[in-house]
């Protein structure tokens, strides 16, 4: 016996190698052991379809209805999209989806549950796929996948809403559903690459994904794992900035993509949708800041949350002066989103740009550490959100946590050296400078 998770991984590998019959036999073994595994049923249909068997349509329909009733609307939508792509009608599925999961649905209850997929650890008896398959292997598997839950009656009375979609009017929900594009990706594929422009966001319908950031040295930091029902890719879309992180597939993945174009078609509802997406973004930015900023590194999760609560958050319009050169240092700032420019006045009165600040960057530390006046001006270049921690609290943190003190001091020192080079104030003779 092999665990269900391992069988699925082997089946996915076989499928990606074009060994559709062998993959089908493994997925069928899963359905036999765990009839509630709608994902394995869907994959049986995928394998049969890849072998040119059009009767797979019956399985997609059966899985769609099961998923819809058991609280898994997005895999139901995957089935509908596959049916449409092969010329079959799935309008009854999408119509029921809107009625069951739309904002006016009576099924969207407070006490919700969904019928869980069997656990990955479940033991499964598998056939030896090196041996020839029985002649009726495909027909038997399709039959089993189609009828696996025929006698299942334990459907929940109330279902979970679909993030975002269930908050829209039914008309808008229907419009968006019509524009969702299904992307079916193998394990290892990258859905989003950090730094690229972003014109769409995604719903995860199935599979597991990993969100990760890559630093200048190529080191990766895991930011999150995403599974069925998660939304991602909204940040770049909202901010018109490059993708803030990469998102890759840990398994076979089905995602439903919403392009900028289809959002534009929402007209009246766009404001509400953008607001809901902003909610995701803010939570994620804060989470990422805690995962990646050296400022939060010395603390455990609870302390990080506590520290974060002491910051106040400020949305600033382009052109806003956050720090004015020569003023008293008021506290420490962290860029949550947006870009800010740092500049200093030179002796002839002109403004010399010193650098840019972006998400995760800390500023305001120099004046605080030296108890001196600020040495540069910081201006928002585009809409930005900055977090602010008052100087009294920073002083306590610096006194109590040596790692923070060291980090801020090293940061201030590096910046001062850079600034002197830019301003031409370095007293070191040119031939003694070491440029790293």
**72 touches ligand CMP by CB under 6 A:** no
Provide, rounded to whole angstroms, the least separation between the CB of residue 278 and ligand CMP. Answer: 12
What six digits make up the tokens of 399?
């006194």
- Smallest Cα–Cα separation from 93: which of 117, 67, 115? 67
* Closest C-alpha to 203, from 247, 256, 248, 240: 256
Say if residues 337 and 289 touch (Cβ distance below 8 Å).
no
DSSP letters along 279-320, please? HHHHHHHHHHHHHH-TTTTTS-HHHHHHHHHHSEEEEE-TT-
* Smallest distance from ligand CMP to CB 392, Å: 30
SS3 64: helix
Determine, following the binding rule CB under 6 A, whether residue 211 of this chain makes contact with ligand CMP.
yes
Residues in 288-327 that interact with ligand CMP by CB under 6 A: 288
Number of residues interacting with ligand CMP: please give it, by CB under 6 A. 18
| Interface with ligand CMP in residues 138-197 (CB under 6 A) | 192
Q: At its nearest, how many Å lie between ligand CMP and the CB of residue 280?
A: 7
Residue range at the interface with ligand CMP (CB under 6 A); choices 138-146, 166-174, 282-290, 365-373: 282-290
As a whole number of angstroms, the distance between CA 284 and CA 291 comes to 10
Q: Indicate whether 200 belongs to the interface with ligand CMP (CB under 6 A).
A: no
**Piece of 71-79, 228-236, 251-259, 342-350 that binds ligand CMP (CB under 6 A):** 228-236
In 3D space, the residue among 50, 53, 49, 75 whose CA is nearest the CA of residue 62 turns out to be 75
Q: How far is the CB of 298 from ligand CMP (least distance, A)?
A: 20
Question: With binding defined as CB under 6 A, does residue 236 bind ligand CMP?
Answer: yes
Query: Of 20, 144, 243, 344, which one interacts with ligand CMP (CB under 6 A)?
Result: 243
Draw the binding track, 391-410, toward ligand CMP (x: CB under 6 A; -: no contact). --------------------
Report how far residue 225's alpha carbon sits from residue 249's, in angstroms, rounded to the nearest whole number.
Answer: 10
Q: How many CB atoms lie within 10 A of CB 193?
A: 14
Q: Can residue 245 be called a binding residue for ligand CMP (CB under 6 A)? A: yes
What is the binding site for ligand CMP (CB under 6 A)? 192, 198, 211, 223-224, 232-237, 243-245, 247, 284, 287-288
């Amino acid at each position: 016996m092999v665990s269900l998770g391992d069988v699925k991984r082997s089946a996915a590998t076989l499928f990606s190698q074009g060994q559709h019959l062998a993959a089908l036999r493994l997925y069928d073994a899963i359905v036999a052991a765990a009839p509630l595994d709608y994902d394995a049923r869907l994959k049986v249909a995928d394998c049969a379809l890849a072998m040119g068997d059009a009767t797979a349509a019956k399985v997609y329909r059966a899985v769609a209805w099961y998923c819809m009733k058991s609280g898994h609307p997005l895999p139901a939508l995957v089935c509908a999209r596959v049916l449409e792509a092969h010329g079959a009608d799935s309008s009854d599925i999408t119509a029921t989806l809107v009625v069951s999961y739309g904002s006016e649905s009576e099924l969207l209850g407070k006490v919700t549950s969904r019928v869980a997929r069997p656990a990955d650890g479940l033991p499964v008896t598998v056939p030896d796929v090196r041996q020839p398959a029985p002649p009726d292997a495909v027909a038997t598997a399709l039959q089993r996948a189609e009828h696996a839950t025929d006698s299942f009656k334990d459907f929940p009375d109330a279902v979970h809403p679909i993030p975002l979609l269930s908050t829209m009017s039914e008309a808008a929900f229907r419009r968006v559903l019509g524009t969702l594009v299904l992307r079916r990706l193998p394990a290892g594929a990258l859905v989003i690459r950090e730094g690229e422009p972003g014109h769409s966001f995604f719903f995860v319908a199935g599979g597991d994904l990993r969100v990760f950031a890559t630093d200048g040295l190529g080191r990766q930091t895991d930011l999150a794992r995403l599974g069925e029902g998660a939304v991602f890719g909204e940040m770049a879309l909202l901010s018109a900035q490059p993708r803030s992180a990469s998102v890759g597939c840990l398994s076979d993945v089905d995602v439903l993509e919403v392009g900028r174009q289809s959002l534009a078609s929402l007209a009246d509802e766009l404001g509400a949708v953008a607001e809901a997406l902003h909610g995701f973004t803010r939570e994620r930015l804060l989470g990422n800041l805690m995962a990646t900023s050296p400022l939060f590194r010395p603390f455990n999760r609870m302390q990080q949350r506590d520290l974060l609560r002491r910051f106040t958050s400020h949305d600033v319009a382009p052109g806003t002066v956050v720090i004015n050169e020569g003023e008293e240092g008021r506290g420490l700032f962290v860029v949550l989103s947006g870009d800010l420019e740092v500049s200093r006045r030179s002796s002839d009165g002109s403004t010399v740009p010193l650098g840019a600040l972006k998400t995760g960057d800390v500023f305001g530390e120099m004046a605080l550490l030296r108890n001196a006046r600020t040495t540069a001006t910081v201006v928002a270049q585009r809409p930005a959100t900055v977090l602010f921690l008052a100087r009294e609290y920073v002083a306590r943190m610096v006194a109590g946590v040596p790692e923070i003190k060291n980090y801020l001091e090293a940061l201030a020192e590096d910046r001062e050296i850079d600034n002197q080079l830019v301003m031409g104030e370095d007293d070191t003779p040119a031939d003694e400078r070491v440029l790293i």
